[in-house]
Amino acid sequence: MSQYDFDLFVIGAGSGGVRASRIAAGHGARVGICEQSRVGGTCVIRGCVPKKLLVYASQFSEAFADAEGYGWQVGECKFSWTDLIAAKDQEIDRLNKIYINLLEYAGVELHMGRGRLIDSHTVEVNDQRFTAEKILIAVGGRPWVPELPGSDLAITSDEAFHLESLPQRVLLVGAGYIAVEFAGIFNGLGSEVTLAYRRDLILRGFDDDIRNAVGAGMEGRGINIRYRSEPNKIEQVGECYQVTFTDGDTLEYDCVMFATGRAPYIQDLGLDKAGVDLVDDYRIKVDDYSRTNIESVFAVGDVTDRIALTPVALMEGHCFADTQFGDIDRPVEHANTPAAVFSQPPVGTVGLTEREAIEQDIDVKIFKSSFTPMKYTLAGREEKGVMKLVVDAATDRVLGVHVAGLDAPEIMQGFAVAVRAGLTKADFDRTIGIHPSSAEELVTLRQPVI
C-alpha cells in the first residue's frame, strides 16, 4: 500500500495538465487533479478556441466585400455581437464538458479549487490536503498589464470574450500574436481599431519579412498602427476612455485592451515551501524531462521557462507521463516547433528566421516570393503573400520556412514535418507542386535572393 493518496497529483486542468493526468492514469497511476476555474484551461476556455471562432466570424465581412468580384450580389448584412458570443459560449460549454468527461473516463479524480504546495509531496485544495508521490504543476499563465494611471480601466483578452457589446473604437496595446489577432477580429467585425506599440515593427521574434507583410496587410484593412507609442495614462470621460500617449497625443476610445504579454500564474502556489527554483523570479526552471530541482515536483506548459504554446504543453504533459509512469524515455524536443498567428493576413512559421540564422553564424541562402494570392485577383485586392525559405548554404538543409498570407497555418503543418525531418532544398525542389495553390511556391523557389 502506497504511503501517498495519489501516485500523481496535478495542479491545473488545462491542456498540459489534462493530457498528463490521462496518460499517467492510462499507465496505471492513481491520479488526482485540481482546477481553480474551468476544466480545459486557457486554450479551450479563454484562448485559442474562442479566439479562432471570433477570427472566423470577423472574416465574413471581407468575404462579403470580395463576393461581387466573383459575380455575387450580396444584400444588406447585419452582425450581432450578442448572437456571436452566445454561440461561442455554447461551444465552450460543450468542450468544457468533454474535458471533464475525459478525466472521468480515464479514472482521474477531479477537485475544483486552487491548488497550492504545502511541501514537496502535499497539495492543499480548499483546505483539504492530498499527498502524492509526484506533483505536476500545470497552472499556465495570466495576462500581464503594465502599471500606469488608469490601467485598471482597460481589459485583457480574458474580458474581451465577454464584452456586452462590440465597441466602436478600440485601442489595442501591444504587438504580439494576441494583439494582432484581436486587431483583426475587432476590425473585421466593424470596430475602428488602433494598435499602439512602443517599438517599430509588430510580431517581435518572427521573421522580418513576415512582420512587414502582416503590418502592411493590417494597415491595408484600415487598422491604424501607432509605432513608438504607448499609453501613459488612461482616464474615464463619460462613457469613453481618454488615453494620453507617450508621444503627447490624447485620444478617446470606447475600449482599451492590453495585450502586453502573459506571466506564469505562480502567485500563492507555495513554490517557496517546496523549494522550487525559478528563472527570472517568475518562471519555473525545468529540464528536458520537465523535472524541477525538487525530485518529486515537475512542471509543464506556460508556467515553465520553455515555449508557451498549447501543443507544446500537450507534448510536455504526454512525455512526462510516459517517462514517469510508462517506463518510456521521452525527453521533450522543442527544436523546430511550428507556430501560427491567426492575424489577418495569417502567419505560419517553423525553424530559424533569417536573423536567427545569421546570429548563429550560419552561412545562409534565402529564397523568397511575394505575390498576390489567386483568390484576390477577381476581388481586386492588392495584398501580397510572402513565402520564404532559410537554407544552410553548406549543407543545403532547410532551416526555416515562413509564410504570411491565406491559409498559412494550414500550409505550415506539413512543411513543419519536412523541417523536423531535416530535408534539404533539393528535396523541396524534387517535390511536385499542387497547382494552382499558394503552397506550391515553397517547392518552386529556384533563385536565392541572398
Every domain of the chain with CATH number 3.50.50.60 lies at 6-142+263-325, 151-260
Is 345-443 in CATH node 3.30.390.30?
Answer: yes
> How far is residue 77 CA from its own chain's centroid?
31
Long-range (24+ apart) CB contacts under 8 A made by 433-441 are 436/374, 438/371, 438/373, 438/374, 438/385, 438/387, 438/405, 438/406, 438/407, 438/411, 439/407, 439/411, 441/369, 441/371, 441/387
Backbone φ and ψ for 29, nearest 5 degrees, come out as -75, 150
User: DSSP character for 383?
Assistant: P
| pLDDT tens per residue, range 10-53 | 999 999 999 999 999 999 999 999 999 999 999 999 999 999 99
What topology is assigned to 6-142+263-325 in CATH? FAD/NAD(P)-binding domain (3.50.50)
Cell numbers that stand for 59 in this block: 472574416
| pLDDT tens per residue, range 210-266 | 999 999 999 999 999 999 999 999 999 999 999 999 999 999 999 999 999 999 999
Every domain of the chain with CATH number 3.30.390.30 lies at 345-443
Order of strands across the sheet with 255-258?
224-227, 192-197, 169-173, 255-258
Catalytic residues: 435
- What whole-number distance in Å separates Cα of residue 199 and Cα of residue 204? 9
Torsion of CA 424, 427, 432, 438, to 10 degrees: -10
pLDDT (tens, 9 = 90+) of the chain, 450 residues, equals 579 999 999 999 999 999 999 999 999 999 999 999 999 999 999 999 999 999 999 999 999 999 999 999 998 999 999 999 999 999 999 999 999 999 999 999 999 999 999 999 999 999 999 999 999 999 999 999 999 999 999 999 999 999 999 999 999 999 999 999 999 999 999 999 999 999 999 999 999 999 999 999 999 999 999 999 999 999 999 999 999 999 999 999 999 999 999 999 999 999 999 999 999 889 999 999 999 999 999 999 999 999 999 999 999 999 999 999 999 999 999 999 999 999 999 999 999 999 999 999 999 999 999 999 999 999 999 999 999 999 999 999 999 999 999 999 999 999 999 999 999 999 999 999 999 999 999 999 999 998
What topology is assigned to 151-260 in CATH? FAD/NAD(P)-binding domain (3.50.50)
- What whole-number distance in Å separates Cα of residue 223 and Cα of residue 204? 18
- What whole-number distance in Å separates Cα of residue 403 and Cα of residue 370? 10
Burial of 188 from C-beta contacts in 10 A (0-12 / 13-18 / 19+): buried
> Can you name the residues that pair with 119 across neighbouring β-strands?
122
CA distances (Å), 361 to each of 250, 357, 358, 366, in order? 45, 7, 5, 15
